[in-house]
A = this chain, B = another copy of it.
Amino acid sequence: MLSHTEENYIKCIYQLSENELTKQVSTNEIADNLETTPASVSDMLKKLTQKNLINYIKYKGVTLSEQGITEALKIIRKHRLWEVFLVKHLNFAWDEVHEVAEQLEHIKSVLLIQRLDEFLDFPKFDPHGDPIPSQDGTIPIVQQIPISEVNIGDHGTVTGVNDASKALLQYLDKVGIQLNSTIEIIDIISFDQSVEIKIDHQKTLFISQEIAKNIYITTI
Which of A's residues lie within 8 Å of B, judged by CB?
86, 89-92, 96, 99-100, 103-104, 107-109, 111-112, 115-116, 119
Query: B107 touching A103 by the CB < 8 A rule?
Result: yes
Query: A100 touching B112 by the CB < 8 A rule?
Result: yes
Contacts of A96 in B (CB 8 A): 111
Q: In the complex, what distance in Å separates the CA atom of A119 from the CA atom of B89?
A: 7
Contacts of A119 in B (CB 8 A): 89-90
Contact pick for A104, options B89, B90, B107, B115, CB 8 Å: B107
Query: How many chain copies?
Result: 2
Contacts of A115 in B (CB 8 A): 86, 90-92
Q: In the complex, what distance in Å separates the CA atom of A92 from the CA atom of B116?
A: 11
Contacts of A89 in B (CB 8 A): 119
Contacts of A116 in B (CB 8 A): 90
* Contact sample, A vs B, 20 pairs, CB 8 Å cutoff: A86-B115, A89-B119, A90-B112, A90-B115, A90-B116, A90-B119, A91-B115, A92-B111, A92-B115, A96-B111, A99-B109, A100-B107, A100-B109, A100-B111, A100-B112, A103-B107, A103-B108, A103-B109, A104-B107, A107-B107
Contacts of A91 in B (CB 8 A): 115
Give the shortest distance, in Å, between A213 (CB) and chain B (any CB).
31
**6 further interface pairs, Cβ-Cβ under 8 Å (given A96-B111, A100-B107):** A89-B119, A90-B116, A99-B109, A100-B109, A100-B111, A103-B109
Contacts of A104 in B (CB 8 A): 107
Contacts of A112 in B (CB 8 A): 86, 90, 100
Contacts of A107 in B (CB 8 A): 100, 103-104, 107
Give the shortest distance, in Å, between A134 (CB) and chain B (any CB).
19
Give the shortest distance, in Å, between A85 (CB) and chain B (any CB).
10
Contacts of A92 in B (CB 8 A): 111, 115
Closest Cβ neighbor of A116 among chain B residues: B90
Q: In the complex, what distance in Å separates the CA atom of A108 from the CA atom of B99?
A: 9
